Amino acid sequence: HLHPTDYASCCFAFRLTSGAMELIVKEARRVWIPNHPTHGYRPGRVDDNADDGSDLLWVVDDEGGKFQVPKAEALAVDPACLTGVDDLLTLGDFNEPALLHNIRVRYSEDKIYTGIGNPILISVNPYQNIPGLYGQERMREYKRYASKTPQGGGGLSVHLYSVADAAYRAMLQEQASQSIIISGESGAGKTEATKRILAYLAELQTASKGADSAGGKQRSVESQVLDANPVLEAFGNAKTVRNDNSSRFGKFVEVEFDASGKLLSAQISNYLLEKCRIITQQPEERNYHIFYQLCAAAVRGLDLPKDLQLRPALDFEYIQVCDEIPGVDDTADFKEVLECMVSLGFSPEERDTVLKVVAAVLHLGQLSFSGCARNGQDGVSVDDDGKVALICELLGVEPEQLRGVLEHKTLEDPLTKKTIHMPHDASSASFTRHSMAKVVYARLFDWLVWRINESISNRGHQKEVRKIGLLDIYGFEVFEWNSFEQLCINFANEKLQQHFNTHMFTLEQRLYSSEGITWNHITWQDNTHIIDSLDKKPLGLFCLVDSECLMPSATDTTLFSKIQNAFKNSKVITKASRFATTDFAVAHYAGEVVYSVDTFLEKNTDKLHADVVNLLKESKLEVVKKLFTDPRFSPESAQKAPGGAGADRSLQRRKTRALDDQRRERQNVTVSMMFREQLDRLVEDLNKTNPRYVRCIKPNAHKRPGELDSLDVLRQLRCAGMLESIRIRRAGYAVRRPFKEFFARFRILAPQLAASGPDPDYRGLCQRLVNEVEERLRREGATLEEKSFQMGQSRVFMKEEFERHMERLIVESAKRQVQMIQRCWRGFVQRRRFMAIRRAAQEVQAALRTSRAVAEFRELKRRHEAALQLQANLRAVAAREIFTRQRRAAVVVQRFARGWRCRSRLGKLKSKAAAEKIRRMREEEERQAELEKAREEARRKEAELEAMRNQLEMSQRVVQPQASVVVSSNDPSAVDRSAAEAPPEVAAKQEDESALQLQEENNRLLEQLEMAQQAVEAKGEAEAAMREQLNLLRAREQDMEQTIR
């Protein structure tokens, strides 16, 4: 195609011949390379040197690779496609290569969003955090620009925020509910897109939040809506081979607003939780996040309910396949889940019960059974009584009853009506254990959704309630082994694709035909035949599976045989391979998928034995008991759903729930039946809204940032129907308004037109209005497409470009009228101001004359007062001079008198000081004398002490008795005589007495020596005390001298 509109008419003629096509290619110099091995489509340059005159062109890509392109199929490259455009409707080269290359170029520039007009947004998962893409400031920027421009979004690029803002403002302006359908394969970013849109809708409430807040006692509804996401993701998301945070359930969030746009409440509907993941996972996949978060919290020692007895995740059978996700902290996520549960109003008992049920599911997987004989039959027994007691404590049931349920099953004899206790074998006991774990967890998840709805739903009554629905439901899934869950998920995607096709193609064409608009019908890929093959009664695939579930002897093998026989000649459902015994293939809209019928019947029936149900109905825990007695969570319960303000949010939903309960009571409802009915209600709700679509694209299968697999992206774009949507939106009339609304909106552009009479002809008025606008635009030189607008039977159909011109003219016209009003108002203000100034001038003149006279009077008064002040000052100077002389004389007299008195006092002080000094000197001399005397006495004592010491030493050297020494020394002859005369006994007695006397003398000398030493020490202490007193006296003397000075 040629982009310039001047050549549009000749392009068609050029394409009729190969020579003309060659001319176009030669002129463009760049063409698209089809079937490129790595890029799908890629632009290249025509190599004229290699042209050999054949029907093939040699085209060189940017890397130098050469490719042959048939001249008849060569498509010229529009320069706009090479740089990338924000809105695909503006593409000049409108074809599949341009679409793919535009997305590829923008993705390389970290621009992951591309718009297709207003209702469709293409989002490519970046697998990384792009700085500045999200955040509060980014949201405020879109909100600020959207409020200033008629179309919303201003000059900003397309974004999830622009889609959310457009839906919000359309809801307010059109007074109709909106919906945003987020679709794409697993790992394409649907869940993240849902969270970002909810965050923006919550940000829109910040303007009025302060005025309507309830004092900050409770968190706002928008905050609670955001807090619901971490809880639902923890219990409903898991790691798959394609996505680390894959939603394993469908979610439809309806956000309610009042007429002013204030967020009132929200309601969440969930669809088909993947229960088989609870007990088994494929390699490199995980169970639901909450299991790993709870184990991580227990290992870290966080505050948890008592007696959970949890260990690392690898120790549990249900979660040991894969326990970690790179870059994810399960403990931190668990803390966030608990905080969000508190924000949503969960009581501590409810939170503890939820954690106990999760722990009980893990411990159920740890049970093991061993064979034994029971009443002559083969049976089993539970190996570990401790585990049974722990599970019973966590679920609030009796251990004996749980053991009986796991080891026996109760049957009723149809004839005698007697109860029969039939022992389980190992496989049936394990099956009961797995079924119990799956049903308990699935119903717990349903209860969580209901409990969150109780917190965020509106219990008041609003006359005008408008909604924005966000649908985040499964991506199209193709694994190595696909089972019943994948079939249901892909069937849901078929239904959503049909809704997209119906809305974007069928309804468009039907509307144009009914309105009488000239329209070229186009063909598009319809998937109705696929849905019929799966769902149409009586021979649809799901109908066959449901009927086979009712057969008592049905097996997966018999089911596979019936599928083969029913679809022998079908092009939708075929045999996977020639020798396949359990596999069949379904040609979905997005591609062929091979399914295995293994466990189809088991998963579709999904029944829990009545013994288990009766056991859990008697639980001591209120939440667990509610899971098996409340019809909202328990299909087998015969009670009706309770009414009241918190039961359900709308009468229609209560009626639907009641019908579902009655149907469950009447017949065996399979999983596929309930799921298909939910899908039908969902599509019915979506049909009542004005939808917008976010098509999420997965850039590569390895979750690597910055890498885009063009071939896989091209496949996803084809499956999503993007090319057809671009073509119809661009070729058709994207804007359509009823006549009355159109005239009310744009009548400012033709002020002379007015609606008169009881039944105005709005169609004729609108025709005249658009004709005048068209003429005006042509005079301005604006370029308009052919048939930029058409008049239908009930509304005006316009191209988006024509509407933009009209919106621009409205702004300009409003600006002119505002300027006219401003001119008139300013003239009135100026005239009124002039009159006020003139009146004020006269008053000012009178006031000036008065003020002048007052000023003259004040001047005379000031001069008189100044003269009086001058006289008073002169008199004061003379009096001050006399006073100064007298004071000076008095000061002189006082000085002499004070000097004489001071000298007198000084003389007295000197005399007293001299006398005191003499007295101290005398006292000092006396003390010196006493000190010298004490020293002499000490020396004498020392001499005596020394003498005593010498005498003692001499006495100790005496060997002979002292008496003999004394006698011999005085009279030797007498001694001899006494010795001769005295008898021996007397001599011995004398010697003893002499020794005793000598000893006493020695002791006396020692005592005198000790007393002398003590006296010397006392004299030394007295001498030191006297010296200290002398020093004190000297210090006092110095102080006295200083005082005298």
The three-state (H, E, C) secondary structure of 529-555, written as one string? HHHHHHHCCCCCHHHHHHHHHCCCCCC
Read off the pLDDT of each residue in 897-924 and give the average, rounded to a whole number.
88
**What does the pLDDT look like over 196-218, one tens digit per residue?**
999 999 888 875 554 444 434 34
pLDDT at 636: 58
Q: Is the pLDDT of residue 845 over 80?
A: yes
CB–CB of 611/422 below 8 Å?
no
| Local structure of 661: helix, strand or coil | helix
CA distance 900 to 889: 17
Q: Where are the beta strands (DSSP E) in 568-723?
A: 573-575, 583-588, 591-596, 690-697
CB–CB of 383/372 below 8 Å?
no
Higher pLDDT, 147 or 70: 70
CB–CB of 33/27 below 8 Å?
no
pLDDT at 336: 95
CA distance 756 to 941: 149
Sheet arrangement for strand 795-798: 735-738, 795-798, 789-791
pLDDT at 181: 92
CB–CB of 586/597 below 8 Å?
no
CB–CB of 110/126 below 8 Å?
yes
Higher pLDDT, 800 or 321: 321
Q: Tell me which amino acid residue 842 is.
A: Q
Poorest-confidence range of 26-30, 370-374, 902-906, 973-977? 973-977
State whether the Cα torsion 646-647-648-650 is positive or negative: negative
Place 968 in a pLDDT band, splitting at 50, 70 and 90.
Answer: very low
Q: Give which of 839, 772, 852 is closest to 809, Cα–Cα.
A: 772
State whether the Cα torsion 797-798-800-805 is positive or negative: negative
Q: Is 769 exposed, middle or buried (0-12, 13-18, 19+ CB in 10 A)?
A: buried
Entry pTM = 0.66
Residues whose CB falls within 8 Å of the CB of residue 934, separated by 6 or more in sequence, listed in order: 1019, 1022, 1023
pLDDT at 53: 62
CA distance 255 to 201: 9
The distance of Cα 932 from the centroid of its chain, to the nearest Å, equals 99
In which element (H, E) is residue 41 found? strand 40-46
**What does the pLDDT look like over 10-23, one tens digit per residue?**
333 333 333 333 33
The distance of Cα 34 from the centroid of its chain, to the nearest Å, equals 44
Neighbours of 753 (CB within 10 A): 16
CA distance 674 to 664: 10
pLDDT at 11: 37
CB–CB of 331/303 below 8 Å?
no
pLDDT at 646: 33
Q: Which two tokens stand for residue 262?
A: 């204030």
Q: Tell me which amino acid residue 868 is.
A: L
**What does the pLDDT look like over 945-959, one tens digit per residue?**
888 878 877 877 764
**Percent of the chain scoring above 90 in pLDDT:** 30
Read off the pLDDT of each residue in 1013-1030 and give the average, rounded to a whole number.
79
Residues whose CB falls within 8 Å of the CB of residue 761, separated by 6 or more in sequence, listed in order: none
**What does the pLDDT look like over 219-237, one tens digit per residue?**
678 788 889 999 999 999 9
**What does the pLDDT look like over 241-281, one tens digit per residue?**
888 888 888 899 999 998 888 888 899 999 888 888 999 99
Q: Is the pLDDT of residue 539 over 60?
A: yes
First-to-last alpha carbon distance for the chain, in angstroms, is 122
pLDDT at 969: 46
Q: Is the pLDDT of residue 413 over 80?
A: no
Highest mean pLDDT among 376-390, 670-684, 1029-1043: 670-684
Residues whose CB falls within 8 Å of the CB of residue 786, separated by 6 or more in sequence, listed in order: none
Q: What pairs with residue 469 in β-bridges? A: 179, 254
Read off the pLDDT of each residue in 125-145 and give the average, rounded to a whole number.
88
Read off the pLDDT of each residue in 310-331 and give the average, rounded to a whole number.
91
Neighbours of 141 (CB within 10 A): 15
Buried b (16+ CB within 10 A) or exposed e, 54-72: eebbbbebeeeeebebebe
Place 984 in a pLDDT band, splitting at 50, 70 and 90.
Answer: low
**What does the pLDDT look like over 573-592, one tens digit per residue?**
998 887 888 899 999 887 88
CA distance 448 to 288: 14
**What does the pLDDT look like over 1004-1021, one tens digit per residue?**
877 877 787 787 788 778
CB–CB of 279/365 below 8 Å?
yes
Higher pLDDT, 404 or 645: 404
Buried b (16+ CB within 10 A) or exposed e, 171-192: beeeeebbbbbbbbbbbbbbbb
Q: What pairs with residue 825 in β-bridges? A: none
Q: Is the pLDDT of residue 966 over 90?
A: no
Poorest-confidence range of 176-180, 673-677, 690-694, 977-981? 977-981
Q: Is 846 exposed, middle or buried (0-12, 13-18, 19+ CB in 10 A)?
A: exposed
Rounded to 5 degrees, what angle do the CA atoms 573, 574, 579 make? Answer: 150
CB–CB of 733/790 below 8 Å?
yes
**What does the pLDDT look like over 416-466, one tens digit per residue?**
667 677 788 888 888 889 989 999 999 999 999 999 999 888 755 666 788
Place 35 in a pLDDT band, splitting at 50, 70 and 90.
Answer: confident
Place 876 in a pLDDT band, splitting at 50, 70 and 90.
Answer: very high
CB–CB of 168/261 below 8 Å?
yes
Read off the pLDDT of each residue in 760-784 and give the average, rounded to a whole number.
88
Rounded to 5 degrees, what angle do the CA atoms 925, 931, 933 make? Answer: 105
Poorest-confidence range of 102-111, 164-173, 854-863, 973-982? 973-982
CB–CB of 188/473 below 8 Å?
no
CB–CB of 106/730 below 8 Å?
no
Four-CA torsion 532, 534, 537, 543, nearest 10 degrees:
180
pLDDT at 369: 87
pLDDT at 637: 55
Rounded to 5 degrees, what angle do the CA atoms 479, 485, 488 make? Answer: 110
CA distance 225 to 380: 48
| Local structure of 250: helix, strand or coil | strand
Q: Which two tokens stand for residue 722?
A: 């993007």
Q: Is the pLDDT of residue 908 over 60?
A: yes
Residues whose CB falls within 8 Å of the CB of residue 297, separated by 6 or more in sequence, listed in order: 304, 330, 331, 334, 335
pLDDT at 892: 93
Read off the pLDDT of each residue in 724-738 and give the average, rounded to a whole number.
71
Neighbours of 1000 (CB within 10 A): 10
Q: Taking all residues of the chain, what is their mean pLDDT, rounded to a whole number? A: 81
Read off the pLDDT of each residue in 620-641 and give the average, rounded to a whole number.
75
Q: Tell me which amino acid residue 993 is.
A: E
Q: Give which of 344, 343, 337, 340 is closest to 453, Cα–Cα.
A: 344
pLDDT at 312: 92
Poorest-confidence range of 99-108, 371-380, 889-898, 943-952? 371-380
CB–CB of 136/122 below 8 Å?
no
